[in-house]
Amino acid sequence: AQNFQIQEALEQLGIQQENNGTSTGNHWFGSGSMLSSTSPVDGAFIAKVSTSTKEDYEQVVEKAQEAFKTWRSLPAPQRGEIVRQFGDKLRELKEPLGKLVSYEMGKSYQEGLGEVQEMIDICDFAVGLSRQLHGLTMHSERPGHRMYEQYHPMGIVGIISAFNFPVAVWSWNTALAWVCGDVCIWKPSEKTPLCGIACQNIIATVLKNNNLPEGISCIINGDYKVGEFLSQDNRVPLVSATGSTRMGKIVAQTVAGRLGKSLLELGGNNAIIVTPDADIKMTVIGAVFGAVGTAGQRCTSTRRLIVHESMYDQVKEALVNAYGQLKIGNPLDQNNHVGPLIDTDAVANYQNALDQAVKEGANILVLGGVLEGNGYTSGCYVKPAIVEAKNEFKIVQQETFAPILYLLRYTGDVTNAIDQQNNVAQGLSSAIMTNNLREAERFLSVAGSDCGIANVNIGTSGAEIGGAFGGEKETGGGRESGSDAWKVYMRRQTNTINYTTELPLAQGIKFNL
């Protein structure tokens, strides 16, 4: 790892051997047990982070509540200015942060940089948004009355994020929440705590340079029990959670139990439909990047390829060819396409999924397996596999966070492919490869894909920040990042003002005293 200057990146990002894991900005503390972060790249220990106890959390919430009073009163464009400065700092630190993401999480350095680019992009988006938090005006039915709506910040936003996008998903939430006037408490994944510390260091410097109080950006660390501090807390009106459907159901029920709001971005089971006149070259690039990029650990990873029978053999051959060229190894080495899975538990899940597929009658087309020996000592490197299966197989119905691509077949009309693609519990991302306008439009129509994202001639992963990101069914229904996703971070207030000396009642009701 020394070859890739990890130590230098850690220094630039202010990460020490032992770090406090709780912060309200520049003030760091944390009295819980220590969490060790090890790299899936080489299995080496990187650094320790202290977890947050309930007492630590209480201190954080107190500071956040106080800070909210200052922050909400700052005009939104001035809050945007802070986010602009944060984006500038990210531009300066793009390389070390991209490197840390790659080393701590295991995705390729290119994808690590891409993730920081998403952060920069959402900051730019949020800066513009800070002058566009528009409400509507309505015409009142009463004379001399004015009616309009305005958006106010909610207060404390809790953010629970996953290991697979250890920095970008936080920024989608927090950049919007900040311009909206909210303050944030972030619990990063316990698998990537150093990415959290690095981000908090960056924003803390910006806040300090602007003489802003502690509490606007806070971080807590630990496992799901620390996340529960947020989901159970009445003082946290919105909890945004990214992760598994299992986790999301628990968070949703807990938050709903106190009538709070939750924003959920959970599992996907994303498919690409390959129609008879699909462009085969584009299909292969889209499918392979979608299936093996981030080692199949994106919510938007391509898990199923639904291929028309007339194309099946051709697609199969092209895929086997492409998989034969994949280089697996250290993700910081830019010659490699596929890095490690996050940990050995993930490797076990991958192995179990392949075993179960075989038990259900699948045919392994491209053999998987765990890599051993030189360069693979972390035990987290696996071979991307392609499995010929049926959509109704139990294992195909599940999201396995690993590079396993299920090859499915359809006959006849595109409707049959759309039915298969919709016939899973999840509803995040979907795509169709076609040059046929009728098929494309049907896929996008009311009777088409039931997912939050539906693409034509693009794969399922790699969404831009400008659109609303999220999905339906077991994906949780939340929308983050672009479009009008900001509205979930604010409360809407309807205002009616009477500028006459009369008090007419709505609906023409008479009430004489």
> Residue numbers of the site for ligand UN1 (CB under 6 A)?
118, 164-165, 169, 242, 298-300, 461-463
Backbone phi and psi for residue 72, each to the nearest 5 degrees, phi listed first: -65, -25
Give the nearer residue to ligand UN1 in terms of CB position, either 15 or 463.
Answer: 463
Backbone phi and psi for residue 494, each to the nearest 5 degrees, phi listed first: -95, 130
Distance CA 474, CA 247 (A): 11
Q: In the bound complex, what is the minimum distance in angstroms from residue 460's beta carbon to ligand UN1? A: 8
Give the nearer residue to ligand UN1 in terms of CB position, either 463 or 490.
Answer: 463
Q: What is the Cα 350 distance to its own chain's centre?
A: 21
Distance CA 102, CA 40 (A): 10
Q: In the bound complex, what is the minimum distance in angstroms from residue 429's beta carbon to ligand UN1? A: 7
User: In 3D, which of 403, 412, 195 has the Cα closest to residue 290?
Assistant: 403
Distance CA 13, CA 104 (A): 13
Backbone phi and psi for residue 234, each to the nearest 5 degrees, phi listed first: -55, -25
Distance CA 410, CA 52 (A): 51
User: In 3D, which of 353, 329, 326 has the Cα closest to residue 340?
Assistant: 329
Write the CA distances from 80 to 75, 199, 287, 490, integer angstroms. 9, 18, 38, 16
Give the nearer residue to ligand UN1 in terms of CB position, either 298 or 479.
Answer: 298
Q: In the bound complex, what is the minimum distance in angstroms from residue 187's beta carbon to ligand UN1? A: 16
Q: Are 246 and 279 in contact, with CB atoms under 8 Å apart?
A: no
User: In 3D, which of 340, 472, 328 has the Cα closest to residue 401?
Assistant: 340
- Structure tokens of 367? 């053999």
DSSP three-state, residue 330: coil
DSSP three-state, residue 248: helix
Distance CA 3, CA 445 (A): 51
Give the nearer residue to ligand UN1 in terms of CB position, either 252 or 299.
Answer: 299
Distance CA 337, CA 88 (A): 29
Give the nearer residue to ligand UN1 in terms of CB position, either 10 or 305.
Answer: 305
Residue 265 appears among annotated catalytic residues: yes
Question: In the 3-class helix/strand/coil scheme, how is 1-20 assigned residue by residue?
Answer: CHHHCHHHHHHHCCCCCEEC
Give the nearer residue to ligand UN1 in terms of CB position, either 221 or 302.
Answer: 302
Give the nearer residue to ligand UN1 in terms of CB position, either 51 or 461.
Answer: 461
Q: In the bound complex, what is the minimum distance in angstroms from residue 269's beta carbon to ligand UN1? A: 13
Q: In the bound complex, what is the minimum distance in angstroms from residue 396's beta carbon to ligand UN1? A: 20
Write the CA distances from 192 to 4, 167, 461, 504, integer angstroms. 19, 9, 21, 60
Q: In the bound complex, what is the minimum distance in angstroms from residue 42's beta carbon to ligand UN1? A: 24
Q: In the bound complex, what is the minimum distance in angstroms from residue 283's beta carbon to ligand UN1? A: 18
Q: Are 167 and 97 in contact, with CB atoms under 8 Å apart?
A: yes
Q: In the bound complex, what is the minimum distance in angstroms from residue 49's beta carbon to ligand UN1? A: 22
CB neighbour class for 377 (10 Å; exposed up to 12, middle 13-18, buried from 19)? middle
Give the nearer residue to ligand UN1 in terms of CB position, either 153 or 471.
Answer: 471
- Find the catalytic residue in 265, 439, 474, 480: 265
Backbone phi and psi for residue 156, each to the nearest 5 degrees, phi listed first: -90, 125
Catalytic annotation, residues: 265
